[in-house]
A and B are shown apart, each in its own frame.
Chain A
Amino acid sequence: MADLIIFITLLAMGYGFGRYAESRHYASIREREKDLNSIPAIASRIPPQGNPNFDSQLVSGSVVISVDYFKRFIAGLRNLVGGRMSSYETLLDRARREAILRMKTEARNLSAEYVFNLKLETASIHKGKGNSIGSVEVVAYGTALIPNR
């Protein structure tokens, strides 16, 4: 009985705090994406031809986001029955976009015009008891093209 109360409390806390953090994060992501839209991040390896007056430099951004108790529980059940792991989809979506934003911020600080050869890497950094993935790291890196005047 006491176990059940603790379990429900943890679930409710995970849900409440997790939802709050997520909606705030998404709001901030949307706002900064609009702001940084002027710097396109392009996956192509080949820089634009015909304009050689660019300096290039490596830029990167990384982020680690933790899953909450509620999401982990849903994911655990999903493991049994299969299907779309929607509780982790938002987690990875946020992490990817945040990493790109951090990379672009660095590019803006260098007054870059483009980021070329964008790459993303993902790692689960915590495998807790029972191998449940606790948090995820996403690294975004690319080559910033800085016009030289």
Chain B
Amino acid sequence: MDYSNPELPEGINTGKENPLKEFAILTSGVVGSIFLVITLLIFVVDNFADKIPFEVEQRLPVSGLIEEQNIEPLPHYLEALSQKVIDSLGLPEPMQITVHYLNSDTVNAFATLGGHIVLYRGLLEKLTYEDELAMIIAHEVSHIKHRHPIMNASHGIVVGLVLSLVGASSGNDVVSKLLGTTGMVTMMKYSRDNEQQADRDAVNSLIKIYGNAEGALALFKVLDSEHGDRGTVEFFNTHPLNKNRSAEAQTLINEIGTEQSMGRAHIPAAFRKWLQKQKQNAREQPQDQ
């Protein structure tokens, strides 16, 4: 028996393929299928969330949480304007909107479960004209009208659960992070669609009330000076970029056609003074939180 000890050829135990190819195939495959699964989940869950009666939503203890921080009663001006906007949007029968005012520097407003809308002093202070304020209220009310809060909450829970299950069983925290990010980006796309829908409704509402939608364009300018688009990528945001929202509103305005603006109404001096006083109050008695 002869024994030889030749040099073994390479490439038997290891592949010659560039690992970047495998990386591209695996990443796009996994990200793509997670995207599909989440889109399907959101679609299914939202179909169910839509059927949850508004009365059930109202029984959730959301208003209590808001009321805890909201000591001030709503000023008459805000209430009257809100009513006007709500009427213009024509809500279905059992829906009720509760507008809250929060004495805080945060420049924001949001709509949440149970028909509650929260306006922050920080945002109200930035406004000059009444139609800008009406645009904000109309935008938030139409979120409620389309049941966005309950849908967001529902699919947020389901998608979160599924992602954490899949992520945990992958046994690799980088992979589970990738899955989480894919899920988030998918839900952000969905959220941007909701914002667009709310913007469209709000522009329609403004045109109904004022005959034009100058307020929408002005509001996006205000928002842009507050949180500018620079350095942000729409893909990673819950809201479309301000310039895109503005362009979208402009397109809609051109479609519908508006009357010539007859001079826009300012926010009453009394209300602005009231906001000033609120600000001082907040400064003098800092909340111990």
Residues of chain A touching chain B, judged by Cβ–Cβ distance below 8 Å, are: 1, 3-4, 7, 15, 19, 30, 33-34, 37, 40, 69-81, 84, 86-87, 89-90, 93, 129-132
Top 4 closest pairs, chain A to chain B, by CB: A76-B172, A76-B175, A77-B26, A130-B173
Stretch at the interface among B14-22, B78-86, B207-215, B258-266: B14-22
With A76-B172, A130-B171, A132-B171 already in contact, the answer to whether A86 and B17 are too (CB < 8 A) is: yes
**Bound complex: CA of A38 vs CA of B51, how far in Å?**
79
Specify which of B19, B171, B233 is in contact with A74 (CB 8 Å cutoff). Answer: B19
Residues of chain B touching chain A, judged by Cβ–Cβ distance below 8 Å, are: 3, 5, 7, 10, 13-15, 17, 19-20, 22-23, 26-27, 29-30, 170-177, 181, 232-233, 236
Q: Contacts of A130 on B, CB cut-off 8 Å?
A: 171-173, 176
CB–CB B181/A86 < 8 A: no
CB–CB A131/B171 < 8 A: yes
**Bound complex: CA of A7 vs CA of B176, how far in Å?**
13
Interface hub of B10, B23, B175, B176 (most chain A Cβ within 10 A): B175
Interface hub of A15, A80, A131 (most chain B Cβ within 10 A): A80
**Bound complex: CA of A148 vs CA of B42, how far in Å?**
78
CB–CB A73/B175 < 8 A: yes
CB–CB B170/A79 < 8 A: yes
CB–CB A74/B26 < 8 A: yes
A-B contact count (CB 8 A): 79
**Main secondary structure on chain A at its contact with chain B?**
helix
User: Can you name 25 A-B residue pairings with CB atoms under 8 Å?
Assistant: A1-B232, A3-B181, A4-B181, A15-B19, A40-B3, A70-B19, A72-B172, A74-B22, A75-B172, A76-B170, A76-B171, A76-B174, A77-B27, A79-B170, A79-B171, A79-B175, A81-B26, A86-B14, A86-B19, A86-B22, A87-B22, A89-B15, A93-B13, A130-B173, A132-B173
CB–CB A80/B15 < 8 A: no
CB–CB B22/A1 < 8 A: no
Q: Contacts of A40 on B, CB cut-off 8 Å?
A: 3, 5
Q: Contacts of B170 on A, CB cut-off 8 Å?
A: 76, 79-80
With A130-B176, A132-B173 already in contact, the answer to whether A78 and B26 are too (CB < 8 A) is: yes
Q: Contacts of B173 on A, CB cut-off 8 Å?
A: 129-130, 132
Q: Contacts of B22 on A, CB cut-off 8 Å?
A: 74, 86-87
CB–CB A87/B175 < 8 A: no
A72-B172, A86-B14 are known; give 18 further A-B pairs, CB within 8 A. Answer: A1-B233, A7-B174, A7-B177, A19-B19, A37-B7, A40-B3, A40-B5, A70-B19, A74-B22, A76-B170, A77-B30, A80-B175, A81-B29, A81-B30, A86-B15, A130-B172, A131-B171, A132-B171
